[in-house]
Structure 1
Amino acid sequence: MKTKPLDEREFGQFIRHQLNAGLTQIDKPIAERLHSARQAALAGVLAPQPSLVGAGRHTLDWCEDHLRPFLMALALTMAVLGGNYLMSAQRQDELEDIDSALLSDDLPIGAYLDKGFHSWLADNSSQP
Structure 2
Amino acid sequence: MSTSHQVQRDDILQNRFGLRVAARLSAGASELPHELSERLRVARQQALAHRKRPAVVAHRPVVSRAAAVMRQGPAAVLGLGGGDGPGFWGRASTAVLLAGLAIGLVAINIVQGDDRAVDIADLDAALLTDDLPPQAYTDPGFLQFLKTQHHERSGGSSSDRPET
State if a TM-score over 0.5 links the two structures: no
- Choose between structure 1 and 2: higher strand proportion: 2
Q: TM-score by structure 1 length?
A: 0.35
Q: Which has the higher helix share?
A: 1
Higher normalized contact order (CA 8 Å, seq sep 6+, divided by chain length): 2
Please give the TM-score of this superposition, normalised by the length of structure 2: 0.29
